[in-house]
């Protein structure tokens, strides 16, 4: 009987230690690097070699699209204006590279070029837009690198607008995720282009005058997970391998999944689906602050009441691990804040942490009018604070 009990105990113990722990290990995925990030907060759920730079291939065009949308927003260009292709479009039409067969002098709208950058990942379309916005591709590349620094991309350097392999042309998985987060949050209309499964050109034709039909470079994922995956960009060269930055709605939240160096399209897609399943298993979305409800009571100088309720103007939700969801908050009050204050005045910020990772910060506001204490109360409080400081110095 004792022997049977010991055997049963060892069997149960073996099953327990083999259960998944909720953490992805590097051995599970044959990739150079990866990162999975919450698109709202930037919280990193999984990562491997996320700060190591690698060739990004056509994921480069995520930055190209960012600058195109920025030019659209500031009125420098419009979707319907015509772009005249320059001679450098031919340099991007290398054997095996995706192209829309632009010839120098061809005129195509910004809308068509942007669509063919997003859907089939046309290199010559990227060059045409780069020259149209900056005057030359090299000037546009300088803009790309300036924007990379502005967005805090610390392991990124561009040499062209399309992503064909070039010396010192690289991005890290973390930088790709940060750029993707900014692209979809700053210009959510990008998803109207990146979610297109197939596209037939309206203006551009081939050598025989026929319009061109293209499939998205990740149509398999868009079609299989319609309504869940809606972006964003893929890339492939022999040096880079199969790369992707994918955006998807999981557990009611948008997440970004960046993979670098997959061996095949099927492996790339399979890994994306594995990560999607792991997120459902390992994480959940929780509300950590409710709109106009207090997150803390804080002292405000000169206020009638010693402690004042502060909160956020909107609900704050975080993606947290199912196991050990160690969420903490830090309240920081701006320098110079003092009563009197009106309801809704911004007084500082709240920073949220999961474990040691800072994941989100948002402004905080007073939730009610904060009248100033009268001069007598302020006098005695000042005296009390002085004695308190003296006591601390002595003892």
Alpha-carbon distance of 23 to 28, in angstroms, equals 10
Which one of 48, 61, 147, 278 is the catalytic residue? Answer: 61
Alpha-carbon distance of 72 to 63, in angstroms, equals 14
* Local structure of residue 260 (DSSP, 8 states): E
**Is 161 known to be catalytic?**
no
Contact 315, 292 (CB under 8 A): no
291 labeled part of a ligand binding site: no
CA distances from 57 to 249, 265, 309 (A): 25, 14, 50
Alpha-carbon distance of 66 to 141, in angstroms, equals 13
Paired strand residues for 231: 247
Closest CA to 288 of 254, 253, 320: 320
**Is 109 known to be catalytic?**
no
Which one of 33, 58, 194, 317 is the catalytic residue? Answer: 58
**Is 82 known to be catalytic?**
no
Task: Give the three-class secondary structure for 331.
Answer: strand
Task: Give the three-class secondary structure for 390.
Answer: helix
Which one of 121, 161, 172, 194 is the catalytic residue? Answer: 121
Tokens coding 9: 């105990």
Q: Which residues are known catalytic residues?
A: 58, 61, 121
Binding residues: 233
Q: Would you list which residues are annotated within the binding site for substrate?
A: 233
């Amino acid at each position: 009987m004792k022997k049977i009990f010991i055997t049963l105990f060892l069997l149960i113990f073996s099953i327990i230690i083999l259960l998944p722990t909720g953490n992805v290990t590097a051995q599970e995925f044959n990739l150079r690097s990866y990162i999975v990030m919450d698109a709202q907060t930037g919280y990193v759920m999984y990562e491997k070699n996320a700060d190591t730079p690698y060739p990004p291939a056509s994921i480069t065009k995520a930055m190209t699209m960012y600058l195109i949308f920025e030019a659209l927003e500031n009125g420098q260009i419009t979707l319907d204006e015509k772009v005249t292709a320059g001679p450098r479009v031919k340099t991007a039409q290398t054997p095996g590279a995706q192209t829309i067969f632009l010839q120098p002098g061809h005129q195509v709208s910004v809308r068509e070029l942007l669509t063919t950058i997003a859907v089939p990942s046309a290199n010559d379309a990227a060059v045409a837009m780069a020259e149209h916005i900056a005057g030359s591709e090299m000037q546009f590349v300088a803009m790309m690198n300036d924007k990379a620094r502005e967005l805090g991309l610390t392991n990124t350097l561009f040499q062209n607008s399309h992503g064909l392999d070039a010396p010192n042309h690289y991005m890290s998985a973390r930088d790709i995720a940060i750029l993707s987060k900014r692209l979809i949050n700053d210009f959510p209309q990008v998803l109207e282009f990146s979610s297109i499964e197939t596209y037939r050109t309206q203006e551009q034709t081939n050598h025989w005058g026929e319009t061109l039909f293209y499939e998205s470079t990740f149509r398999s994922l868009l079609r299989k997970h319609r309504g869940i995956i809606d972006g964003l960009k893929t890339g492939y060269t022999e040096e880079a391998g199969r790369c992707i930055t994918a955006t998807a709605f999981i557990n009611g939240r948008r997440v970004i999944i960046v993979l670098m160096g997959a061996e095949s399209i099927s492996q790339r897609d399979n890994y994306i689906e594995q990560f999607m399943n792991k997120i459902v298993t390992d994480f959940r979305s929780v509300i950590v602050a409710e709109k106009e409800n207090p997150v803390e009571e804080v002292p405000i100088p000169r206020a009638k009441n010693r402690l004042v309720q502060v909160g956020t103007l909107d609900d704050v939700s975080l993606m947290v691990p199912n196991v050990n969801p160690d969420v903490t908050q830090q309240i920081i009050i701006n320098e110079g804040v003092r009563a009197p204050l009106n309801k809704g005045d911004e007084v500082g910020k709240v920073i949220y942490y999961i474990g040691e990772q800072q994941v989100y910060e948002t402004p905080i506001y007073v939730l009610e009018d904060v009248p100033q204490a009268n001069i007598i109360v302020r006098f005695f409080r000042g005296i009390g604070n002085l004695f308190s400081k003296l006591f601390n110095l002595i003892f």
